[in-house]
Amino acid sequence: MIQAILYKEWIKTRRAVLLAAALLAGYVAYAAIHTGQLFRVDGAVATWANMILKDAFPLPAALRWLPLLTGVLAGIAQFVPEMTNKRLKLTLHLPMPERRVLSVMLLYGAGTLVALYAATILAAWGILARYYPAEFLAGFLWRALPWFVAGVVGYLFAAWTCVEPAWTRRASNALVATGALAACYLDAPAGGYLPMLPYLALLTGAGFCLPFYSAARFKEGAQ
Partner 1 sequence: MENIIQCEHVTHYYGDRLIYEDLNFEVQRGKILGLLGKNGTGKTTIINILNGYLKPRAGVCRLFGEEMSRLSPATKARVGLLLEGHVQHTYFNAEQIERFYSRFFPHWRRDAYHALLEKLHVAPTQKISTMSCGQRSQVALGLLFAQDPELLVLDDFSMGLDPGYRRLFVEYLKEYAAAGQKTVFLTSHIIQDMEMLIDDCIILDYGRILLHEPTRHILDHFRRYRFPSPAIGEVEGMWHAGPAGDHWEAYSFLPEEEVARRLAHAAGELTSERLSLEDAFIGLTGKY
Cβ atoms of 117 and 151 closer than 8 Å: yes
The verdict on 1 binding partner 1 (CB under 8 A) reads yes
| Nearer residue to partner 1 within complex by CB, 19 or 190 | 19
| Of the residues 49, 62, 89, 129, which one makes contact with partner 1 according to CB under 8 A | 89
The verdict on 7 binding partner 1 (CB under 8 A) reads yes
| Of the residues 18, 29, 93, 118, which one makes contact with partner 1 according to CB under 8 A | 93
| Region 28-47 residues binding partner 1, contact defined as CB under 8 A | none
Chain CA centroid to CA 39, Å = 30
| Region 11-30 residues binding partner 1, contact defined as CB under 8 A | 11-12
| Region 194-223 residues binding partner 1, contact defined as CB under 8 A | 218-221, 223
| Of the residues 95, 179, 189, 195, which one makes contact with partner 1 according to CB under 8 A | 95
> Long-range contacts: 88-97, Cβ < 8 Å, 24+?
88/163, 88/215, 88/218, 92/215, 92/219, 94/1, 94/5, 95/1, 96/1, 96/5
- How many residues at the interface with partner 1, by CB under 8 A? 24
The verdict on 168 binding partner 1 (CB under 8 A) reads no
Residue 2 to residues 96, 105, 147, 152, Cα–Cα distance (Å): 9, 9, 30, 21
How far, in Å, CA of 22 to CA of 127, rounded? 18
Binding residues for partner 1, rule: CB under 8 A, are: 1, 3-4, 7-8, 11-12, 81, 85-87, 89-90, 92-97, 218-221, 223
